[in-house]
Structure 1
Amino acid sequence: MMNLIDYLPTIPDFPKPGIMFKDISPLLADKDAFSHAMSELHRLSLQTPFDYILGIESRGFIFASALAQISNKGLIMARKPNKLPTETYSEFYGLEYGQDYLEVQQNIIPQKAKILLMDDVLATGGTITAAASLVNKAGAQVAGALVLLEITELLGRKKLSEAHIETQSLIEI
């Protein structure tokens, strides 16, 4: 079995001092590691019935796009502010190293659809919680959340659990 953590080096003090950043670039660059990661993420996704995948900007797009193609599901983008051309729902969130907003187009998420939230890393849970709020504002349902990597010491899963978001991660550190 391939050990995917070997393809996720830690970069200290990026993007700010005190942050231990996990770089996904080597995993993406290695076709076997990326293929294995996507196969395993697909396997995990089969445990959650969903209609669409919502990818969270920016690195969440990579995994969500690949999973949408493998799963034959539609892809919805949660973007940073002012990147979408039509009316949006917006939600503020805090990150491990700052704060920002996410937006989704108001006309893109079908009401009552089951939406699987996808990002590359679960740290504090702020980004995924904001994405869930956007889904709720659109009148759809959060089916769950799926991430490549979970940094357990930051307690993001606890935050998501308190928000009733069932979460799966491929790798926990």
Structure 2
Amino acid sequence: MSHDPATAAAGRLDGLIRSHVRDVPDFPQPGVMFKDITPLLNDREAFGATVRGLAEPFQADGVDHVLGLEARGFIFGAPVALALGAGFVPARKAGKLPSATIGQAYDLEYGTATVEIHSDAIPAGSRVLIVDDVLATGGTGRAAVELVRRAGGTVVGFSVLMELCALQGRGKLPDVELHTLLSV
């Protein structure tokens, strides 16, 4: 039996993340099991390993910008951008950015929402990595992909801390290289 260092490292990272993500039942409403990442953020080893894990698969992809989705995608996106030597683009809820924007609407369970970036944030031809904390239903992720493409950028991938597999968000991103550190 051969020992694969990459598989062993992935297993250690998975265990480190799992040990630092706290389940909070019935938050923000009854029946929801919230995945609290604040213990992970509070531990420098776990936080650093997570940032490296999100960035590493895209080291050789010539990433120009990292787009982080509001709000917890900002927490991971900015240090991933630094790790990749790239700029950071915040994607915000509609009406939160101070200059000219472009937006992309997406469906929610009841209604729609819009995610926006500054209209000059992604120069045409830029190679963009999208980063978020959780992939759930995939609506926000799909909107981010479309927003990058409308701005003239190329999506090189989507890197996420945690995928909630039961919600099947991966199905909305069939045309994007998806990298997840933890599947639950």
2:95 maps to 1:82: yes
Structure 1 or 2, whichever has the larger Rg, is: 2
Alignment gaps of 5+ in structure 1: none
Cα deviations by residue, 1:109-150 (Å, 9 ceiling, x for unpaired): 101111111100011111111111111111111111000111
Alignment gaps of 5+ in structure 2: 1-11
2:106 maps to 1:93: yes
State the shift of 1:19 in Å: 2.1
**Match runs of 1:59-138 below 5 Å:** 59-95=72-108, 99-138=112-151
Contact map agreement 2:63 2:84 (CA 8 A) in 1: no
State the shift of 1:85 in Å: 1.2
Aligned to 1:79, what secondary structure does the other structure show? Answer: strand
State the alpha-carbon separation in 2 of the partners of residues 100 and 6 from structure 1: 33
Contact map agreement 1:96 1:123 (CA 8 A) in 2: no
Q: Percent identity?
A: 42
Cα deviations by residue, 1:21-71 (Å, 9 ceiling, x for unpaired): 111100000111111112222222326442210000100001100111111
TM-score under structure 2 normalisation? 0.86
Contact map agreement 1:80 1:103 (CA 8 A) in 2: yes
Contact map agreement 1:94 1:100 (CA 8 A) in 2: yes
Match of 2:31 among 5, 18, 27: 18
- Residues 13-22 or 119-128, more deviating: 13-22
- Residues 35-44 or 144-153, more deviating: 35-44
Aligned to 2:183: 172
Match of 2:47 among 7, 19, 34: 34
Aligned to 2:22: 9
- Tell me the C-alpha RMSD between the 2 structures: 1.8
2:171 maps to 1:149: no
